[in-house]
Amino acid sequence: MDSVFHQEPFRGDYYTRRFEPGPDDSTLILNMGPQHPSTHGVLRVVVELEGEYILRAEPVLGYLHRMHEKMGETRSYLQYMPNMGRVDYLHPLAWNHAYVCAVEKLGNIEVPRRAEFIRVITSELNRISSHLLWWGAYLLDLGAFTPIMYAFEERERIQDLLQEPTGSRLTYSFFRPGGVAADLSPEFLQGVREFIPYMRSRLPMYKDLVTDNIILRYRCEEVGELPLDMARRYGASGPVLRASGMAYDVRRAEPYSVYPELEFATPVSQRTDAMGRYKVRLAEIEESLKILEQAVEMIPEGEILVKGAPKPRWKAPAGEVYQAVEGARGKIGVHILSAGSAQPYRIKLRAPGFSNLSLFAELAKGTLLSDAVSILGSLDLVIPEIDR
């Protein structure tokens, strides 16, 4: 067997060589991705299979690496805003929020109250839309084609709403250090008020179509059980962690913006499996609706951008700041080190998906290939965020 595929550039790369089968090669080395329908973008997972059981799995990253951290060092504080919309394209406003909060901490900038409420309202709407897309895509992984279309019905409404103040539908660059870029109109607030009961009326349909479905339950229940201790060792956060029974939410643990004034619960599940993660996310949609309900009534009149907000050539004072924010996927961290110039000296982005994916290798061991797909989906991965 010395065909062309067994000679050099075809001999496989670093990863496939590491997975070279041993002397009794009864196992199958399989490359899932980077162009695989259920790896959501360009994740690659090398798996070693015995029949359909996974002996080893290893995610391979870097196919969508854009070096956002280096870009941060070459751009001014304002110019980095569009990058924040593109790290995690499903919940960009959380990244917007983390970044502007970090810059505000660094520069000691006050934010008008109205702007804080605008941030919360748009960010929570964005969280719902992110969970909706996850819901549809997860079911697509499990072989149900229709739910994603229903989820998109709601998601489109959210995007139509968010489009009005932010001007975009996906990669929002809306928050600014010291406030936000545009005010919310009364029509927008009315739209949110109308959206809340509409979204609530759709949730029973989700339950009938999917959550209760016996096939889905058998695909999720007792699949990918993540013990709390393992979640801690890998630094899991967000719904993945909360489904393992820990009520940890950055909005409560490290309060930012006006979240302390709002009433909402932190959904937890003790199931630890994929079904737990599923249920936590659906419950989070309801909690976000509760936040929206309160926020649209509480929003005060006033400025949306503080006077003296950073101008394009603004220089941040020297110093260090770490800001964590609860994104749809978990704990987003922005760590800025400033030397007092117009660009950050170093900016570190902590992506929740990065930690959440790193536990996949251990979680997938010994499961079926179909279960691995289900686990991968239940972690809610956004590859651009993981690769950054």
Partner 1 sequence: MQAIRRKLKDITNLWSMVKGLKVTGGQFLKPQVTVHYPRQEVANLASFRGPLQLVAKPKDPAKPKCIACLMCVSVCPSGCLTVLKAKPPKPTPEEEAAARAALEAGEKPAKKPAPKEPSRFIYDYSLCSLCGLCAENCPVGSLSYSENIYLTATDAKAFKLDLLADLRARAGAAPPAGEE
Partner 2 sequence: MEATLLDPRMFRIVAAAMALAAFVGLNALVLVYLERKIAGHVQRRPGPFEVGPHGLLQPLADALKLIGKQLFRPAGADALLFWMAPVVSFIPVLPLFLPIPFDPDLVAMHVEPGLLLILAFTGINVLALCMAGWGSNNKWSLLGASRAVAQSVAYEIPLLMALLAVTFMHGSLNLSEIVEAQGAWPWQWNAFIQPVAFIVYFTCAVAETNRAPFDLPEAESELTAGFHTEYSGMGFGLFFLAEYANMIVVCAVATALFLGGWQGPFFSGWWWFLAKTYALLMVIIWFRWTYPRVRFDQLLNINWKWLLPLSMVNLMVTALVMKLF
Partner 3 sequence: MTPAWLKGLSALRTEAHQRESTGLAWSVFIGPDQILEAAVRLDGEGYFLEDVSGLDATEGFLVTYHFDHWQRPGRVALRVLLTREAPILPSISGVFGGAEWHERECRDFFGVQFEGNPNPGALLLPADFEIHPLCKEAGERKPLRELLTQGEVIASAEGFDLFAPAEEPAAPPDDAADSGTPEEED
The contact set with partner 1 (CB under 8 A) reads 75, 78-83, 85-86, 146, 150, 153, 156, 160, 163-165, 167-168, 171, 173, 181-182, 205, 208-210, 212-215, 217, 311-313
From 195, 134, 132, 133, select the one nearest 160 (Cα to Cα).
195
- Binding pattern for the stretch 159-178 against partner 3, x by CB under 8 A and - elsewhere: --------------------
- Residue 157 within binding range of partner 2, rule CB under 8 A: no
- Residue 17: CB partners within 8 Å, gap ≥ 6? 11
Structure tokens at 161: 């709403």
Quick one: 111 or 258, whose CB is closer to partner 1? 111
In the three-class reduction of DSSP (H, G, I as helix; E, B as strand; rest coil), residue 348 is classed as: strand
* 88 vs 382: CA distance, rounded Å: 6
Quick one: 15 or 314, whose CB is closer to partner 1? 314
Provide φ and ψ at 324, rounded to 5°: -110, 145
Tell me which stretch binds partner 3 (CB under 8 A): 33-41, 109-117, 286-294, 349-357.
Answer: 349-357
* 36 vs 328: CA distance, rounded Å: 24
291's enclosing H/E stretch is helix 274-298
Provide φ and ψ at 196, rounded to 5°: -60, -55
Closest contact distance (angstroms) between CB of 208 and partner 1 is: 5
Quick one: 152 or 345, whose CB is closer to partner 3? 345
> Residue 317's binding partner, choosing from partner 1, partner 3, partner 2, none, with beta-carbon cut-off 5 to 8 A by kind?
partner 3
- Residue 314 within binding range of partner 3, rule CB under 8 A: no
State CA 134 to chain mean position distance.
Answer: 9
Say if residues 85 and 315 touch (Cβ distance below 8 Å): no
Sign, CA dihedral 59-271-367-33, equals negative
Closest contact distance (angstroms) between CB of 386 and partner 2 is: 20
- Residue 338 within binding range of partner 3, rule CB under 8 A: yes
Provide φ and ψ at 14, rounded to 5°: -50, -45
Provide φ and ψ at 340, rounded to 5°: 95, 10
Quick one: 19 or 259, whose CB is closer to partner 2? 19
Interface residue list for partner 3 (CB under 8 A): 13-14, 61-62, 65, 67, 69-70, 73, 102, 105, 230, 232-236, 246, 248, 253-254, 317-324, 331, 333, 335, 337-341, 345-346, 348, 350, 354-355, 358-359, 362, 387-388
Interface residue list for partner 2 (CB under 8 A): 3-5, 28, 30, 36-38, 49, 52, 139-146, 149-150, 153, 209-210, 213, 215-216, 218-219, 368-371, 373
